[in-house]
Amino acid sequence: MKSAIEYHTKSLLNSYAILFFSQNKVLGTLLLLVSFFNIPAGLTGLVCVIFALTTVNQLGFHRDFTHKGLYSFNALLFGLAFGMFYQTNLAFLLWLMVGCIITIVLSIILSAWLSKYNLPVLSIPFIITYWLVILATGTDNTTGLLPKDGLLPNQFSSLGSQHLFSTSAQGNSIFYFADLFFRALSAIIFQNNVIVGLIIAIGIFIHSRISFSLLLIGFFTACCFHKITGMYPDDVSYYHLGANFMMVSAAIGGFFLIPSLRSYLWAIISIPASFLLVNALTKLLGIYNLPVFSLPFCLITISLLYFFTLRITANKLQLTPIQHYSPEKNLYQYTNNVKRLDNLKYLPLNLPFMGEWTVSQGYNGDITHKDDWANALDFVITDEEQKTFEYPGTRPEHFYCFNKPVLACADGVVETVADNIEDNTIGQINTLQNWGNTVVIKHADDLYSKVSHLKKNSIKVKPGDVVKQGDQLALCGNSGRSPEPHLHFQLQLTPYIGSKTLKYPFADYTGHNLGAPDKYFAYSIPEEGMVISPVEINILLKQAFAFEPGYYGVIETPDGRKETWEVYKDAYNGRYLYSKQTGAVAYFVNNGYEFYFTAFYGDEKSLLYLFYLAAYRINFSSTYPGVSDNYPLPANKFGLWLHDIVAPFCQFVKHTYLNQYQINRDEISIAANAQYCFLNKCNSIMEAEIRIANNKLKTFSVKMNNQITEATWDSANN
Amino acid sequence: MEKLKYERPLIKKMNTGIPNKFGQKAAFEPVKYIDEVPVKQLIEKFGSPLFVLSEQRIRRNYRAAVRAFSTRYPKVQFAWSYKTNYLNAVCNIFHQEGSWAEVVSGFEYHKAINNGIPGEQIIFNGPYKDAEALNLAIENGSLIHIDHFDELYNLITLCKSHHKKPKVAVRVNMDTGVYPVWDRFGFNYENGQAWSTITKVLESGVLQLAGLHCHIGTFVLSVNAYKAAASKLCDLAMKCKSQHNHIIQYLDMGGGFPSVNTLKGYHPSGADAIPSIDEYAEVITETILNAGFEKDDLPLLILETGRALIDDAGYLLGTVVANKRLSDGRKATIVDFGVNVLFTSFWYEHKISPAQDATQHTEETVLYGPLCMNIDVLRESVNLPLLNAGDHLVVHKVGAYNMTQWMQFINLRPAVVLIDKSSNVHLIRQPETLEYLQTPELLPDYLKIVHG
């Protein structure tokens, strides 16, 4: 019951907040309040929203979209406008309902159609519906609707209508601009009120500093442009300022694109275009006495977005990949993900051998790794004197790598095998069958790995065999173009022995250059001369974090808080932990080497959020117990408000994560620490400990804001 | 021009025929340097006899062994067998390289702890573990390898008072095709005793069965014996999984790899007859990898190799005391080190080299130690150049067991030095003194005066 009320209230507030691309409760509430500055309009707006929400909920449309207000905000606009411009009578009520229904239907149809192209519907359904009402009513008033105070909607935005913009404070004074700015904001909900605008401005500032600054940029650009061109004889109308220029700036500069210098430039560029469109459309639609409303904004935004989606590479102007309904969150998540999750595009590859091997020839090697075959690696085994063989080194058996197992680097199906080429005597090469005995494995469409120069008759697999990562394929040999035993490894796009090579990193390994200490490498390509070995995985740690769909855990605190977490996967095969009591969701990745959270949505007071913070990244390596990472910056933290404004251009605050684990027999304790770093000055804000016993998560405790939360897994369900 | 060295006259019977086309190599290569340090200088500085250990050789051996196993198996751990050589300097070289400790008595256990080895990296083997050490091992979480039922029952009783669940392994003996069968350590595989012990351990409720251990022999020259042993241990481990749903965390293959010494009465010589550590590694790892373990359940492979890692890193330097003629006409040479310090001369035909230049002439000699005991024979027959009193000898491959099984008998035990990789010489054990020897002695008052 409680959650149902919460759901409906949130949907209602979202329907208001979404007018400014937000899901912020404060902004939603403020908009709801100020809409009642004009009581009839506020009332019809509210009625339409509730009607729209009830209808789409009852009809069973996507709850998530409904919840975000995506299906109801056009109805809100329609209600607000309808209540603003028409007098209340019986016909009014009738057409309000009819218009509301048409808006809802159009919202759903158009958003479904446009979403195929990844485009938003914006306020088009409202505009169409309202036009229908105006056209139907016409001058002969066939619908029985009576315009208020002789105010016709088509006059609302027509050029030069004196009463619509302030003439009292003409000039360049700051008061004039402030007055105009706030009126422009209030115009978005069809009002013309400085107080309303001020309250909305406060709401937007609380929601997003980036949005607010973009609104300002839009406002001033429009004013400047107008000043230069003098396009409108009197002044630029506050409605066009608000509904078109400022909204274009906010949408392009910081909502549909990741806020950046480039997106800001596009926002500025789009304003003159809007001018043109406003003028042209006003003249065109004036023929039919139709107001342009926010049509220029819709057309400009949708066209530009479609224009951007048609690019092949995004480079530095990035469309928002996952919409978080907050420019700050979009920005911080995106910059964080670019750094952290870039490697998700790679299939995790392990080294094709056991123990310590040396890269005898790296990418673009001097001997044979050239041209189309440059992205390959040769491996040998060396001793402490960098010799590859034991005295006298005259036969393949004297070489350390000869006869050593060669493994599958990842799961796949054996594609091609060559297995009857003689091993060379030392110093001889076979250029006829230059690859020697070879296994090619298909890992995915257009992704093959190849190991070559294997020992004759040592290959254990045949084409068609399914191999798992780590399965033995063959023994290292000396066949083909190989004067001394070594292992050749490459990735390729095509299945042939002799295909061109493909640059591809290994998911994790440890290695060092001669004389340097061992280091951990993730998604990296080893360089020539490096001594590398596979990472030894701590099985207990790996098993403790093996959250597969169907995993079910009950987590309790001493003060009686209890959450049930279950693992699900979404339509894109992404795994997430879902907290049933709080609705919080934490997405994670577990690639067998590492467990890490990729995103968190929902209640930040939930235990799941604390676990997300504490176990942000866990590396399973048993040699390198500890890892560091960066959280995305919080989207709405008071202390960061100034940073938010400049964040699209440069970021100088970091939210870091660092952990270290200790193994005591079968018990593992992971100590994690989170800090805010302003340039180089760091401030610890969280300390956490996760305890694991016998490959099961047992407890975690998080100390934050001087408050310690201890949570325990209920052993019966774990 | 330097004065030519005097060599006594020698009459040698001419033999017809030559062993190979290059002729028999009669001359001995003198060994004048050990790791670039002159033998003569070592003896001058530290006295004779003197044990010399080469750190470089130890590390090289260890790394070669690790390389042999870790490039064939993903999880390998060596544990230094303390009894082979427990001089702290030696132990710590192995520990620095990453080796755990394998101990077989309370005293060795304490030694490992004193060397700074964490409790959980100590393997406690052996047929007798005293209660005090066992308690300590439980407390420290060491790996306790159970040898017999009495020990098992004892351990269960001790655990009840400790409220700790120690990690244990069951020692298993088995027929590996090498005879006589070493059946004295642990529980027999063939007669089912090992399996019944495993069941007892699992059902005790107070012990964690972490591993299985075997120690199939010493100086085992057959690679196949390890194959048999590994496959029997794997069989038990798989059975633990299938019948008790219990995963065995490690398999300990014990020690027993031979060094390149030549056993008495064995032909050909060690270097030619002995399989390399790679051959052992290949069969052991292949057997375990093909046993059918799931990838995550693959047990850690522990090796307690001792002898093969250190034997050839040890040298014994000594000096000729006298030459004499025996009644049957054979030549005899007396040197200043006896079987009390070169215990392994009971097993091996040790290679002995002169430490200075000599002519190509050699003579068959009996090599005696300095003890006034008939058994003090180092080599019953060895071809050596014509040595004079005061000449130096180098005995090779004496690193294993001598510096632990040696004893003070008639003569005191000599110093041990370690040559590091930059050829610096470190004294790691001082020569014994009379005072040291007598420290634990107590003399009743009435015996203090001899001439009353």
Q: What is the DSSP code string of B345-357? A: GGTB---EEESS-
Query: Cβ atoms within 10 A of the Cβ of A682, count?
Result: 13
Written as six digits, the tokens of A29 are 């509430």
pLDDT level of residue A155 (50, 70, 90 thresholds): very low
* B120 vs A: CB within 8 A: yes
If we measure between CA atoms, which residue out of B109, B82, B251, B249 comes closest to residue B171? Answer: B251
Contact check, Cβ <8 Å, A356/B71: yes
Collapsing DSSP to helix, strand or coil, B128 comes out as coil
Other CB atoms within 10 A of residue A663 CB: 15
Nearest Cα neighbor of A239 from A251, A228, A247, A231 is A247
With an 8 Å Cβ cutoff, are B141 and A401 in contact?
no
Counting as low any pLDDT under 70, the low residues of chain B are: 14-27, 267-271, 452
Please give the sequence-ordered ranges of beta strands (E in DSSP) within B30-128, or none if there are none.
33-34, 37-38, 50-54, 76-81, 100-103, 122-124
pLDDT number for residue A168: 43
- B69: chain A residues, CB-CB within 8 Å: 355
Q: Are A356 and B289 within 8 A, CB to CB?
A: no
Residue A662 contacts residue A669 (beta carbons within 8 Å): yes
* CA dist., res. B35 & res. B421, Å (int): 8
DSSP A319: B
**Per-residue pLDDT tens over the stretch A672-704:** 999 999 888 999 999 999 999 888 899 999 999
**Residues B196-223 pLDDT 10s:** 999 999 999 899 999 999 999 888 889 9
Tell whether B70 is within 8 A of chain A (Cβ).
yes
d(CA A124, CA A107): 8
pLDDT value of position A22:
93
The C-alpha of B122 sits at a distance from chain A's nearest C-alpha, in angstroms, of 12
Closest Cβ opposite residue B71 in set A353, A543, A665: A353
pLDDT score at A246: 92
DSSP run (H or E) holding A5:
helix A2-17
Q: Which residues pair with B85 in a beta bridge?
A: none
> Nearest by CB to B73, which of A354, A401, A665?
A354
Q: Is B74 on the interface with A (CB under 8 A)?
A: yes
- Whole-number pLDDT of residue A154: 44
CB contact under 8 A, A539 and B296: yes
Q: What is the pLDDT of residue A170?
A: 53
Interval A100-119: pLDDT, tens? 999 999 999 999 999 999 99
Cα distance between residue A63 and residue A78, in whole Å: 22
What burial class does residue B332 get, using C-beta atoms within 10 Å of its C-beta: 0-12 exposed, 13-18 middle, 19+ buried?
Answer: middle
Contact check, Cβ <8 Å, B67/A405: no
Q: Which residues of A touch B60 (CB under 8 A)?
A: 383-384
Using the Cβ of B426 and the Cβ atoms of chain A, whether some distance falls under 8 Å is answered with: no
Model pTM score: 0.83
Q: Closest Cα to residue A266, out of A236, A311, A207?
A: A311
**Best mutation target, B70, B71, B143, to test chain A (most A CBs within 10 A):** B71
- Cα gap A261→A253, rounded to integer Å: 9
Phi-psi map region of A53: left, alpha, beta (phi>0 left; psi -120 to 50 alpha) = alpha
Whether residues B74 and A472 touch (CB distance < 8 A) is answered with: no
* B141 contacts chain A (CB < 8 A): yes
Q: Which residue of A has its CA nearest to B278?
A: A400
Taking CA–CA distances from A533, the nearest residue in chain B reads: B71
Could you tell me how far CA B74 lies from the centroid of its own chain?
26
- β-pair type (A707-713, A552-556): antiparallel
Rounded CA-CA distance A144/B23 in Å is: 130
**Chain B: nearest CA to A659, how far in angstroms?**
23
Tell me whether residues A356 and B73 touch, CB distance under 8 A: no
pLDDT 10s digits, A572-589:
889 999 999 998 999 999
> Closest by alpha carbon to A600, among A676, A669, A657?
A657
Nearest by CB: A470 against B64, B282, B295: B295
Closest to A290 measured CA to CA, from A187, A189, A161, A156? A156
Query: Would you say residue A307 has pLDDT above 50?
Result: yes
Per-residue pLDDT, A175: 84
Query: What CATH superfamily is the domain A357-533?
Result: Glucose Permease (Domain IIA) (2.70.70.10)
How would you class A656 by CB atoms within 10 Å of its CB: exposed for 0-12, middle for 13-18, buried for 19 or more? middle
Please give the backbone phi and psi of residue A195, each rounded to the nearest 5 degrees, phi first: -65, -45
Tokens 């989606």 appear where?
A309
Could you tell me which residues are beta bridge partners of residue A537? A621
pLDDT at B263 (0 to 100): 86
Residue A294 near residue A243, CB atoms below 8 Å: yes
pLDDT at B15: 65
| Interchain proximity B71–A468, CB inside 8 Å | no
Element (H, E) at A635: none
d(CA A264, CA B110): 71
In chain A, DSSP finds a helix count (H) and a strand count (E) of 19, 24
**Residue of B70, B167, B282 lying closest to A354 (CB–CB):** B70
Chain B: give the shortest CA distance to residue A355, in Å: 4
pLDDT of residue B58: 97
Beta-carbon separation of A404 and B70 below 8 A:
no
Three-class SS state of A211: helix
Helix (H) or strand (E) segment spanning residue B337: none
Pick the closest to residue B71 from A365, A90, A402, A31 (CA basis).
A402
> Can you tell me whether residue B317 is helix, strand or coil?
strand
Closest residue of chain A to B120, computed from CA coordinates: A665
How crowded is the C-beta side of B422, counted as CA atoms within 13 Å? 2
Q: What are phi and psi of A377, to 5 degrees?
A: -125, 140
Residue type, A20: F
Chain A within 8 Å of B8 (Cβ-Cβ)?
no
For residue B360, the one-letter residue type is: Q
> Within its chain, how far is the Cα of B140 from the centroid?
26
Residue A680 CB neighbour total at 10 angstroms: 7
Q: Find the mean pLDDT for residues A309-321.
A: 90
Residue B74: its chain A contacts at CB < 8 A? 354, 470, 534, 536
| Separation of alpha carbons A14 and A22, rounded Å | 7
Q: Does B63 touch chain A (CB under 8 A)?
A: yes
Domains of chain B as residue ranges with CATH: 33-53+312-438 (2.40.37.10), 55-306 (3.20.20.10)
Residue of A nearest to B121 (CA): A665
State residue A235's pLDDT score.
65
**CB-CB neighbours of A379 under 10 Å:** 23
Question: How far is A472 from chain B, CA to nearest CA, in Å?
Answer: 9
Chain A: residue nearest B298 by CA? A539
Give the percent of chain A with pLDDT over 90. 66
pLDDT for A151: 52
Are the beta carbons of A355 and B70 separated by less than 8 Å? yes
Dmax of chain B from CA atoms? Answer: 82
* Closest Cα in chain A to B167: A665
Predicted pLDDT at A171? 55
Q: Looking at domain A152-325, what is its CATH homologous superfamily?
A: Ammonium transporter AmtB like domains (1.10.3430.10)
Q: Which of A38-47, A516-525, B26-35, B330-339 has the lowest mean pLDDT?
A: B26-35
Q: What is the pLDDT of residues A530-567, one digit of tens each?
A: 999 999 888 888 989 999 898 989 999 999 899 999 99
Q: Tell me how close the Cα of A539 comes to any Cα of chain B, in angstroms.
A: 7
Peptide bond into B49 cis (omega under 30): yes
Quick one: CA dihedral B19, B20, B26, B29, positive or negative? Answer: negative
Could you give phi then psi for residue B398, rounded to 5 degrees?
-120, 15
Alpha-carbon span A534 to A349, nearest angstrom:
11
Q: Which residue of B has its CA nearest to A382?
A: B67
Decide: helix, strand or coil at residue A105: helix
Right CATH for A1-151 from 2.60.40.3080, 1.10.1040.10, 1.10.3430.10, 3.30.565.10: 1.10.3430.10
Q: To which H or E segment does residue A337 belong?
A: helix A327-340
- Chain A positions touching B166 (Cβ under 8 A) are none
Q: Which residues of A touch B210 (CB under 8 A)?
A: none
Give the pair of three-digit tokens for residue B161.
């008072």
Which residues face A86 on adjacent strands? A147
User: What pLDDT score does A172 carry?
Assistant: 63
Distances (CA, A) of A561 to A355, A423, A583, A661: 47, 67, 14, 27
Gap between the Cα atoms of A299 and A704, Å rounded: 47
Nearest residue on chain B to A470, judged by CA atoms?
A: B295
List the one residue out of A675, A627, A636 whose CA is nearest residue A23: A636
Quote the CA–CA distance of B360 and A297 in Å, as a whole number.
Answer: 106
Interchain contact, A381 vs B67, CB within 8 Å: yes
Question: Look-up: residue for tokens 């808006």?
Answer: A103
DSSP string, A109-154: HHHHHHHTTT---TTHHHHHHHHHHHHHHTTTTTT---BGGG--HH
Band of pLDDT at residue A640, cut at 50, 70 and 90: confident
Angle between helices A174-187 and A209-229 (to 10 degrees): 110
Residues A663-678, mean pLDDT to the nearest whole number: 88
Instruction: Report chain A's mean pLDDT, rounded to a whole number.
Output: 89
